[in-house]
Chains A and B, each alone.
Chain A
Amino acid sequence: MKNLSNGKTKIANTLGRQKLLLDVTYTPESLLRHPRQLFRQMWYDLLASRELAWRLMVRDISAKYRQSVLGIAWAFIPPIAMAVGFTLASEANIVNVGKTDFPYPAYVMFSTALWQTFVESLNGPVEAVIKAKPMLARVKFPREAVILAKVGEVFFNFMIKLVLIIGLFIWYRISVGWTLIIAPVALIHLIMLGTLVGTLLSPLGVLYQDVQKGLTMVTGFWLFLTPVVYSVPESGLFGFFVQLNPVTPLLVTTRELATTGVISEPVSFWVVSILTWIGLLLTWIAFRIALPYVIERVSS
């Protein structure tokens, strides 16, 4: 009796917001044919997924670290390994890395941490959707939660890397300007770009295993087209490709905002950022439309 009266009141009180949920019609038509309804549903799902995203994020992070001995140290190891490797190579003159604005090891570690964050945000949605396949195939819940949970995890991992970065800055006595405050904005854009591409690929990733394998390969190659272990090339064919790489302005700007305070490529930064935000919205729509088709091809 008690539960019943509670339940009924709840529905009445939230009738406005839940009314949409309380009356749904499923047809074979494309969702794009009713754009207003689509946007309303998307907005509602985004709001509804906040708590669930938090729960999933807590669940995934707890599970990941509970079963590991090194635990948090895994966030530090790749940047340090890269830095050691490339510093040695550079000092032995095996690779010509050019001049960097601040000490090379710090440059490499900081850039690697940023690059690592980008790669995590790229792989994240694909992994998350594939892992959530059983849930997606059996229960209806706001699917944005799966993506949001992964984005949250990327931010959490970055926080851990931040410890390393702060340690670096202190050790090498790298000066920071007031622009440090807005550096997170550029970082967020970087993560959004990765999430955008990852979310776009995730429905395909559920259907075809090539996507995950291909992504590993592509990111390996992509690393070399991004000024992570070398400074930004000014000219040449290679420099041309580096400039074409959308990650370049975002990563470089984040690095510069945190250190020198002088942004070398504001135009390309803003172009890429605006394209990222627009692209994110389009990807969200595509994700919503594509997922039911993917789920019907997946066994429950």
Chain B
Amino acid sequence: MNRTISESTDKDIANKHGDSNVVISVDGVSKKFCRDLKRSLFYGVQDITTDLVGGRRKSEVLRPQEFWALNNVSFQLRRGEALGLVGANGAGKSTLLRIISGLIKPDSGSVRVRGRVAPLIALGAGFNPILTGRENIYANMSILGLSTQEIKEKFDDVVEFAEIHDAIDAPVQTYSSGMAARLGFACAIHIEPEILLIDEVLAVGDIQFKMKCHHRLAQLQENGTAFILVSHNPYNILNVCESAIYLKRGNLVRSDEAEAVIQHYEADLCLAGTSPMSGLIVLPEKSETKSLGLDIISICFKNEQDQLLETLRTGEPAYLCLTCKASRFLDNVNVGIVITSLSGGDQRVLSITSDLDNECLEIYPGKVEIHMQMPYCGLIPGKYNAKVYIRRGVMSLDKYKSFRFAVEPSKTTSRCLFYQPRTWQVVKK
């Protein structure tokens, strides 16, 4: 409640004052790279020489074997705003962050940055494994821009945050990778800059630590730090950012609110994948020799009126229809379905087996349909992959690993992990 009020006030202020709240202004930035190593090094030397004699680099033209890593990207970031940056691997996200940090020069356009930038791009920059954690904290935070006095003030907080009280005076090479990463993260997060660039490093540590990090980042955001967050996990972006931009092969494809951009990104991911989702998979019949007694012929979802569903809808009833061909009588057949979510990094969402539901299926020879009735679909909108298998005891009769289907929204399930059907009532006591 409080947050939305302050958000809207901030936006009003921004609109009134226009530019004074803008901390990063990226304007028509392009960057080219070369894939061939020797040629790339040669171009490096060429650029240095041209620059040293004060000549113009002709940086808008592509030299042989060069390509545009970033092409005409423009956006603005204001104080306290969090911007998500999504794109496939190689889309130019890290390059954009490096240009904003001032590490490399753009080949066209300009970037204006107001305030201190702390990149969470490399945890533990400046760490020397032989030295102790204590010495490395001083080295690392010094590189990130703090003076010795400031480091002394924050030292205890850093150790506390990283939870390495016992190991602080041991050489870093004796730390586990998790401890080293936590230490790096703790150092970086205590810099308290005006702008924070986070490049896919929110994955360190166990759940408790992750929550601590998210909490700390939220605190920083409330204090007015602007964020740019790069992540492949849409949940990270949706939880933290209001707006996002989508980069595809260096081009800025979409700049919008976070949810719209993520949807666009996921749509592209799935279309770029294997088969389009028609909702029905038909498998070729197996020959007599290959068949183990029961073959899956087709898999689809149908609604209550027995009509084929191309997509499921959240909260609506449906059933899974497995058409099979049996060559003999089989009892104690066990059907299993494992559903993983395709949006949000292959998380297993459901594991269902008919024998754990105390259903022993009996199948007579010929063509049969196995139905799994769902009174309502509890899955939230997105793309899913189902692995369907049929077993009898330990013997696997058939399986199909990549039945892909989509779930469309019909109830509001934003910020939910599943759909909970419910009714409301008020009872007078």
Contact = CB atoms under 8 A, between A and B. Distances in A.
Interface of A: 3-4, 7, 21-28, 30-33, 51-52, 55-56, 58-60, 62-63, 66-67, 134-141, 203-204, 207-208, 286, 289-290, 292-297, 300
Interface stretch (B3-11, B49-57, B276-284, B341-349): B49-57
13 contacts: A26-B102, A26-B111, A28-B59, A30-B55, A32-B52, A51-B142, A52-B142, A62-B131, A63-B128, A66-B131, A67-B130, A138-B125, A292-B103
A158 B114 CA distance: 43
A40 B105 CA distance: 19
B104 interface: yes
A172 B108 CA distance: 66
Interface string B140-165: 00111101100000000000000000
Given A23-B112, A59-B135, A290 B99 contact: no
Interface in B331-353: none
A23 B107 CA distance: 20
A59 B131 contact: yes
B181 to A, nearest CB: 15
Contacts of A52: 142-143
Interface in B108-141: 108-117, 119, 121-122, 125-126, 128, 130-131, 135, 138-139
Contacts of B223: 4
Kindly list the 9 A-B residue pairs having the minimum CB-CB distance in the complex, ordered from nearest: A138-B122, A296-B104, A297-B44, A55-B142, A290-B48, A26-B111, A63-B130, A293-B47, A30-B51
Contact of B147 (A3, A51, A289, A294): A51
A192 to B, nearest CB: 21
Contact of A26 (B40, B106, B143, B147): B106
Interface size class of B (residues with CB under 8 A): 35 or more
Contacts of B108: 28
B98 interface: yes
B38 to A, nearest CB: 10
A71 to B, nearest CB: 14
B103 A140 contact: yes
B112 A135 contact: no
B106 A28 contact: yes
A294 B47 CA distance: 9
Contacts of B143: 52, 135, 139, 141
Contact of B139 (A32, A56, A203, A292): A56
Given A51-B142, A294-B48, A139 B119 contact: yes
Contacts of A24: 102, 112-114
B343 to A, nearest CB: 28
Contacts of A59: 126, 128, 131, 135, 139
